[in-house]
Structures are given as structure tokens and as C-alpha cells.
Structure 1
Amino acid sequence: MLLSALACGVVVFPGLFFSSRAVLRRLFPNWSEADVVSISERVVSAVHGSLATAAGAIVVLSCQDVMNDNHWLVNTFVVFGAPYMAFDIYSMYLSHFHSQNSSRHSLQTLKAFLHKDWMLVLHHVTLLTVFMPVALFLRRGLGDFFIGCFFTTEFSSPFIAIGKILIQRRLDDTWLHRLNGLVVLLTFFTCRILIFPFMYWTYGRQFGIPLNKVPFHLPLHCNLGNAVILAPQVYWFILLVKKAKRLYLRGKKGKET
């Protein structure tokens, strides 16, 4: 089953990207290659985020015992989503390449991409090299509930992708973009930040431990792992809040003039 899931991931995500690219070229011949590639990348991101959220919700709702209950979707989706993480690095690079109007691929272009998007690249690489082995081999079949919670952190991804597409098409000064931005803030804060105290609270409720004492009942590596995952989420949320503030002030200034 896992090999089949891996094969599906290898076919689905690159196939969706290149299909979107071909369709957009045909439907919008006046669009630049940078626009076509960028929007195709975001379509794939939105699809992956939607699938991950659905898988996570199914797992979370199915596991009554947060430590011992198992669900077949956990390992299957981890393997299915791995090709997305690898391919998304390539599609992000391709989007950067075309946005710079580069004539050819070079080490300098690659360095510029890694300098610009180093945190996202590191996030994807960490998921592939750390999260995936832990989820598949080192958990000893425990904690499917928590892996499902991590899947749901992708709930904000489709809305982030929509926002980027709207900006790409110069629709960032519309009510739709402002509404989508509000949804991004709410979903990001709920599913990428509040999800951590929720997991601790759920664990504590099952074993009769107050929330403030749960971290002291967990192994150090569990707390450190959560902290490492949470840190970039807080950083990205702060960036989103700053961006929302700039858009609000710009809209307020526009109304005054």
C-alpha cells in the first residue's frame, strides 16, 4: 500500500503542476511564463493543503485514544505527500527563475533562490528528512492522533495560495483579497499555532494532567520537536500580521484621499 501511495504522489503532484501549466498557457496566451508557473505552483499547493487537511481531520476524529489508536491514512498520506514536498522545492525554484527573467539556469540563480526562500526550503527538507522517518519508523505505531493534527496545519495553505494568486493578478486592492487575508490569519493562527496547546490539552485530558503540567510529563525530545515546528509558524504568522496591517493602512489612506 505504501509503495502505491508513493507512486500516486509521484504522478499526482507533478502531473497537476504540468497540467495546470499547459491549461493556463492555452487559456491565457498573454500571460507571462512567470505568471503561469507561479499560479500552477500555487494550485498544487492548494490541492495538497486541502488533501492534507481532509486526511488530518479524518484521523483526529477517528482516534479516541490519542496514543494508541491507529488509522491507515497516517502512514499512507505521509508517503503520498512526500513527493509533493520534494517537487514543491523544484516548482518554487522554477517560479523564482522565471520571475527573474533569467535566460539560463546557473549556480548564481540557485543561490539567489535559496537565499530568498531558505526557510521554506528548510521546512520542506526537514519534513522529508526528519518528520517522515519519525512518522513512519520511530513512533512504534503510537500517536496517530498527533500526526493527524500536524496534517491539519495545512488548512491555511489553500487560502495563502489564493492570496498569492490574487496578488499575482494585481487584485490585491479588492474586497476579495481583504476577505481572504482575514481567513488566512484565522486559519493560520488556529491550525498552525493553537493546534499545539490543543494537542497538549487533549493529551492531558486523557491522562488527567492539567495543561500547564503536560510538558513535564512528556519526553524532552517531544517538547523540543514541537518547539522546532512551532517557531517558524510564529515567525510566519508575525509576517502575515505585518502584511495585513500594511494593507489595512494603505486602504485607509486611499479612502482618506
Structure 2
Amino acid sequence: MTAETLRTRLEAGRPAIGAWLGIPHPLSAEAMASQGFHWLAVDMEHAGASVDQTLACFVAAERHGCVPLARLPSADPYLARRLLDGGAQGLIIPVVQSAEDWAAFSVHCLYPPHGRRGVGLSRCNGWGDRFQDYLTTFRPFLVPQIETRQGAEQAAAIAARPEVDALFLGPYDLSADLGAAGDFETAPFKAAIARVRTACDVAGKPCGIHQVAPEPAQLEARIAEGFRFIAYSTDVIAMRTALAGAASLL
């Protein structure tokens, strides 16, 4: 799959289920991708993956038809360019606060005349073998994360940007910014979530969320609630959950 097939799937109203990769090693990436996930995002924000580690994970994910994405540690346009040149099909950007901030970043992800991404021969275009096709047809799958009160208030303007493919809710950061970290039942938190989801509906964009626990029933519930771009846990959490049952025997 590519950015375009992922985009097409979502535009058809079908959910795109992926996962966060917290162990930045190609074996972990391949183990996760082999389970049939539509996308896999290397977490460069919380897991601290390097560029080299991230690119190696892209290669592993691609072997199983899984769309390779990366979550950046910040809206760094030069890191974004390196990852796209290395084969990222899309990027997830944390703490997007406004449409203006998003536009200032995303312009570096698009080639002229639509943006200011540097043009060169690199892995993304087969070191020139697919140069013209990639230059004229590739559009990265771009996802701003809404993680603050201000971001939620500006969600409609952010979602309306044409280069935005989905909005992704960051529930832990959002709840913290609203004064109750980890509490997802407060009225301000629920109101912020509703505001972001409405913004997505109006813009015709998918709304994404992290289903933290690797529980299929909870994933089904998120889909039933209308979320379509869903991160189903992480490799680390899935491994720890699978092993936790033996803790009492150790």
C-alpha cells in the first residue's frame, strides 16, 4: 500500500488500522506489519527513533504491504524532508495549534509549485528510476495531531486545509492541557473531542485516535464510534500485555 491507497481506503469510508512502533528495529516493524496492519508509524516523538532506524523500519514494513509513516518529534521541516526522501509515505505531526502553523510546516512536504520540498534523487523515487512519476503524482499522507485546547478550538480551520488527510486526537496530551491528565471523562475533554470530530465531519476528513489497549472489542467500539484512522496500541504495550499474565508465576 501507498499514501494513495491509504487515502482511497479512507475516502471510501473504510477504517485504516495501524499501530505505533516504539521499538525502532526492523524486526519489530516486520513482526507488526506482518499482522496485516494498513499502516505502521515509527514513533520518533516518544520512542526517540533516529533517522537511520526509522528508514530501516520503513523497508521492513513495506515488505508486507504496510504503509510506512513516521511521527515526528516536532514540526521540523528539514527532518520531514529527510524522511520523505527516505521513503515515508506520510507523516504525523504532534501539537498542531493552528492552520497557519500547519501551513508553514506542510509547505515543505510538497513539491513546487504547491510547496517548497527539495527535489533530488533518493530512495523515494528509486534514486531517479521513478523520478518524474514520483515528482508529479506523489502526495504524502499528512496528519496533524490535535493535542491542546487551542488545537481543538482551531480544528475546523486545520481540517479544512487541502493537504490534510486526517486529524489525529492525542488524548493524553489533550487531557493534560485541559488540566486533568489521563482523565477522559471531564466535560471540557469531551467537548474538545466533540469539537474535533465535528470539524472532521464538516471537512470530510477522517478522525483518528489511539486505541491504547490491544483489545479487539475496544477497537471494534472505536470503529463503531466513527473513528477511521486508528492506531491500535503499540508494539511495546502489546508485548507487555501478552506477558503480564505470567507475572504472578515469576
TM over 0.5: no
TM-score normalized by the length of structure 1: 0.25
Higher relative helix content: 1
Which structure is larger by alpha-carbon Rg, 1 or 2? 1
Higher-strand-fraction structure: 2
